[in-house]
Structure 1
Amino acid sequence: MKVSIITVCYNRKTTIAQAIDSVLNQSYPNVEYIIIDGNSTDGTQEIIESYQDKVNIYVSEPDQGMYDAINKGIKLATGDIIGLMHSDDEFYDKSAISKIVARFKFDSSIDGVYGDGIYVSNDSKEKLIRNRIGGAFDREKINIGWLPLHPTVYLKKSIISKYGLYNLDFKIASDTEFLLRYLYQHNIKMSYINQYFVKMRMGGLSTNSKRVFEVLQEDYKIYKFHGLKAFQVVFLKKAIAFKQYIAH
């Protein structure tokens, strides 16, 4: 069973090597690694090129943003399962993909899996900021603000071919629309693994405090687009997030 991992990036020279190493150091042997760069100008390309003999597909060209780059990666992917590794993040340990594949093999009827993740500070101390425990899947929980942590979600390529790519009408929170389309609109069969998959650094596109109101606005539009009580769900989603932050 081949797993395609997609990393998209633009001007991430300080973190891209850690993300790449995290993928290459996974214990699972059958991984197709795809990197889509948005034509970086800060030295990111040179770092990626130093790994070129270990990366299966590498594209560097201008794009329309992160979700356009992810879509490019999905179109190029040949794996049975597709997942993401953002350029600011890394796997929690070396066995993450092996655990994911084992679940797909255990239950061939599932369409996807997801797990847990942590957010850490964007510095060398990597202080724990937020703990994201997914919990068992229940479609009804989406009505009260729940969604799995996007970078922990792994889907069969066949289900992505069926229900489509990321919607480029949404520039910051298209991952929310993607998950709602799959989990709420089409009610695909998901399986939860109570294990940490990913370590994320604060300050990415959706966690940047300077863009919090833009994220809220897009979330509102997305939930309304899918016929949910948008104001209520967005409020509850943020309440859930607040409870996940670690007191220091």
Structure 2
Amino acid sequence: MQPFLSIVTINYNNCIGLEKTIASVISQNYRNFEFLVIDGDSTDGSKAIVAKNKDRINYSISEPDTGIYNAMNKGIKAASGEYLLFLNSGDVLNGVIALESFILHPDFLGDIIYGDYKFEKGEKVYPEYLTPLFFVRSSL
């Protein structure tokens, strides 16, 4: 049996990033998931993007919140999946098999799973493979 996944996207006034994230999620080969979008009452066109994709988004809400953690808690409360993935606006999955690459391999599933990423902004490039030491250095 395939694990059921909840994908939660938090957004506030990032319609361009939200559109990329939605496209990334709905292009996945793995289909056993629900997609939730929690928006902080955006005024930049984000609501229209959610409305345009309402047939692919299982749950959405747009209302003021007190910050990202309040929005994340709303997503957690609304989610019903066995696993929860926070994929915030502007984040994308690496290819159409990103979800199935790990979720269909039970040896990889655990209580907490994080993804490696490569992010380019200007000339600063984050490592392609993250280690716990990266997070220690990043939080100092």
TM-score (norm 1): 0.51
Report what 2:120 is aligned to.
120
- Alignment-derived partner of residue 131 in structure 1: 127
Task: Check conservation: 1:100, 1:113, Cα contact below 8 A.
Answer: no
Post-superposition CA distance 1:95-136 (Å, at most 9, x none) = 111122123x2367x3232231011238xxxx883224124x
Mapped partners of 2:115, 2:14: distance in 1: 26
Determine which structure has the larger helix proportion and give its number.
1
Q: Does 1:70 align with 2:51?
A: no
Partner of 2:23: 21
Contact in 2 for aligned 1:3/1:30 (Cα 8 Å): yes
Give the Cα–Cα distance (whole angstroms) in 2 for the partners of residues 42 and 55 of structure 1: 19
Structure 1 residues 131 and 63: alpha-carbon distance in aligned structure 2, compared to 1, 3 A threshold:
same
User: Where does residue 155 of structure 1 map in the other structure?
Assistant: none
Change (3 A) 1:238 1:35: closer
Q: Secondary structure at the match of 1:45?
A: helix
Q: Percent identity?
A: 32
Change (3 A) 1:134 1:64: same
Q: Once the two structures are superposed, what CA deviation does each residue of 1:119-175 show, in whole Å capped at 9, x if it has no partner? A: 1238xxxx883224124xxxxx5xxx443xxxxxxxxxxxxxxxxxxxxxxxxxxxx
Greater CA radius of gyration, 1 or 2? 1
Say if 1:11 and 1:41, in contact at 8 Å, map to a contact too: yes
Task: Say if 2:6 is the partner of 1:10.
Answer: no
Q: Which structure is higher in RCO with an 8 Å CA cutoff and minimum separation 6?
A: 2
Q: Distance in 2 between matches of 1:43 and 1:118?
A: 28
The residue number in structure 2 matching 1:106 is 107
Instruction: Tell me if structure 1 keeps the 8 A contact 2:10–2:39.
Output: yes
Closer, same or farther in 2 for the Cα pair 1:239/1:70, shift >3 Å?
A: closer
Is the CA contact (8 Å cut-off) linking 1:118 and 1:128 kept in structure 2? no
What is the TM-score when the length of structure 2 is the normalising length? 0.87
Stretches of structure 1 lacking an aligned partner (at least 5 in a row): 136-140, 148-232, 241-248
Aligned residues of 1:119 and 1:129 also touching (Cα < 8 A)? yes
Given that 2:102 and 2:108 are in contact with CA atoms closer than 8 Å, whether structure 1 keeps it comes out as no
CA separation of 1:11 and 1:107: change in aligned 2, threshold 3 A: closer
Over 3 Å off, 4+ runs: none
